[in-house]
Amino acid sequence: MPLKIVIAGAAGRMGAALLRAASADARFAIVGAVERDGSILLGQDACGVAVTADLAAALTNADAFIDFTAPAATVAALPALARANVRTVIIGTTGFDAAQEAAIAAAAREHAIVKSGNFSLGVTLLSALVEDAARRLDPSWDIEIVELHHRRKVDAPSGTALLLGESAARGRNVSLSDVRAPARDAATP
């Protein structure tokens, strides 16, 4: 029996890619595609289901929830996931503040949550290497992460940059928030 999934952020690049990949794989059944109120995709077909803003309805038969939206939307979805008894949650959204991170941590007591700023194998390996390098290098070595994006990028620094920064901080046994000197932070919706 296939795993029944709901994808939130269906109109985004990752959401669309996930819909295509899941619809081509017999191990998965798409039972919901969620977008925000006002999206031009509401009501349109998304690999056999209509795109909806009604999260509760989309979750009715779900086994798992995959979220690539925005921090506020991710956190707002958590109570609906609990009510629908959806226990498997994958979060690819980035840019959470401390209160939002705390809400996700609290939800992790009830749900199996996998959360990452980047799910690629290469970045996962790079993250481990950065942590190891930070641990091995003398503290007199500075660590700097520089990335280049178009100026309208919503999540700056990117989830990947923050993931690498957290890895370096773990290697140095410090908190990233204590040592980070941001050059530019974009507002995350």
- Active-site residue, from 4, 111, 115, 149: 149
Q: Give the three-state DSSP class for 37.
A: coil
Task: Sheet containing 45-46: give its strands across.
Answer: 45-46, 49-52, 28-34, 3-8, 64-67, 88-91, 112-115
In whole angstroms, give the CA distance from residue 75 to residue 87: 15
Helix (H) or strand (E) holding 136: helix 121-136
CA atoms within 13 A on the CB side of 175: 3
149 is catalytic: yes
- Active-site residue, from 4, 115, 150, 153: 153
In whole angstroms, give the CA distance from residue 41 to residue 35: 8
Nearest to 53 by CA among 71, 41, 67, 45: 41
115 is catalytic: no
DSSP 66-121: EE-S-HHHHHHHHHHHHHTT--EEEE------HHHHHHHHHHTTTSEEEE-S---H
Residues designated as active site: 149, 153
